[in-house]
Amino acid sequence: MAPMNQWIKIKAPATVANMVCGFDILGFAVNSPYDEMEMRMVPYVENGPKIIIINIDQYNLPTDPEKNVAGAALNALLLEYEEQFSNTTIAFEVKINKLIKPGSGVGSSAASSAGAVVGANYLLGKPFTNDDLVRFAMNGEKVASGVKHADNIAPCIFGGVTLVRSIFPLEIIALPSPELHVTIVHPQIEVKTSDARSILKHQVLLKDAIKQWGNIAGLVAGLMKKDYDLIGRSLEDVIIEPVRSILIPGFDALKIACKKAGALGGGISGSGPSIFMLSKEKETALAVEAEMIKLYTGLGLAHHTYVTTINEKGVEVIN
């Protein structure tokens, strides 16, 4: 266990959930952007708070531990720690410097939840497994979107590409990460995760389901075999994307332009509005970025872009 009051630094990466065809089950972590956090254990003072959150960014996120996803995730961890390992109570102080814009669709909430529980586990001497940490961090996702889902949390904690085969009971499978370049554009419009979920249809046609599970299987096989063209062909979503893409201006034109520039494929990142594309070469990823900038500049929409790679480490504790 780390000494009381010793600060640690944490790097929590952004993540791309769904990976086009794997709604709620697939996701991967990227090397940029990432959130920075600092954390320490302090002795619990009777009737005092067990979690103190200090925001050191401009986003004005809640500091109430019930409302900040990091607090909700830490509460779940502390509850189990006190039950299983200790009668003494400890408290955590967490400083969050958010570099991943909340609501952009690249796992800003997951980075805080995952970063907080990985940091706490390190400070406590690692009593919990990665699967436990995912379970705790999902309580943060419930605060952010109303639903416990692990498609951002799992890659944020494990790194690389992950498959959430089941949530109850939790089963996460780390898949081989392809050496691919990732281009992300975040058009500055607001798409609430709750809205992006509520417009989805609750029933699917069998013919669409067949296409979708063919693509998911193709994508997983492509990752296992390092077959990049198979990965590209499998990046197709016939169920969620046709509905959600109407919330993102220029989506169809952007996808066509990026593929023409050489991208293997891509689509909506999480519930949007960010869009990601995968490319074999860095030059292609940069050409894809140029297409993204051209399209959103043409539409007069403010936007950010990132050209990055898949992050294999997940949340990192730096001392």
Provide the binding-site residues for ligand ADP, judged by CB under 6 A.
Answer: 61-62, 68-70, 96, 98, 102-105, 107-110, 112, 144-145, 193, 270
Nearest approach, Cβ of residue 186 and ligand ADP (Å): 10
| Contact call for residues 181 and 228 (beta carbons, < 8 A) | no
Sequence letter at residue 28: F
Active-site hit among 15, 36, 141, 291 = 141
In angstroms, the CA 254 to CA 259 distance is 9
Nearest approach, Cβ of residue 4 and ligand ADP (Å): 24
In angstroms, the CA 148 to CA 136 distance is 10
CA distances from 145 to 108, 182, 198, 268 (A): 12, 25, 11, 17
Q: Which CB sits closer to ligand ADP, 231 or 248?
A: 248
Nearest approach, Cβ of residue 32 and ligand ADP (Å): 15
Q: Which CB sits closer to ligand ADP, 104 or 139?
A: 104
| Contact call for residues 181 and 308 (beta carbons, < 8 A) | yes
Q: Which CB sits closer to ligand ADP, 61 or 257?
A: 61
Q: Is 141 a catalytic residue?
A: yes
Backbone phi, psi, residue 2, to 5°: -75, 150
Sequence letter at residue 170: L
In angstroms, the CA 314 to CA 12 distance is 7
Nearest approach, Cβ of residue 117 and ligand ADP (Å): 12
SS3 at position 75: helix
Going by C-alpha positions, the residue among 177, 178, 176, 170 that lies closest to residue 154 is 170
Nearest approach, Cβ of residue 144 and ligand ADP (Å): 3
Q: Is 305 a catalytic residue?
A: no
Q: Which CB sits closer to ligand ADP, 17 or 278?
A: 17
Active-site hit among 15, 193, 284, 308 = 193
Half-sphere exposure of residue 129, counting CA atoms within 13 Å on the CB side?
A: 6
Q: Which CB sits closer to ligand ADP, 103 or 267?
A: 103
SS3 at position 27: strand
Supply the residues annotated as catalytic: 141, 193
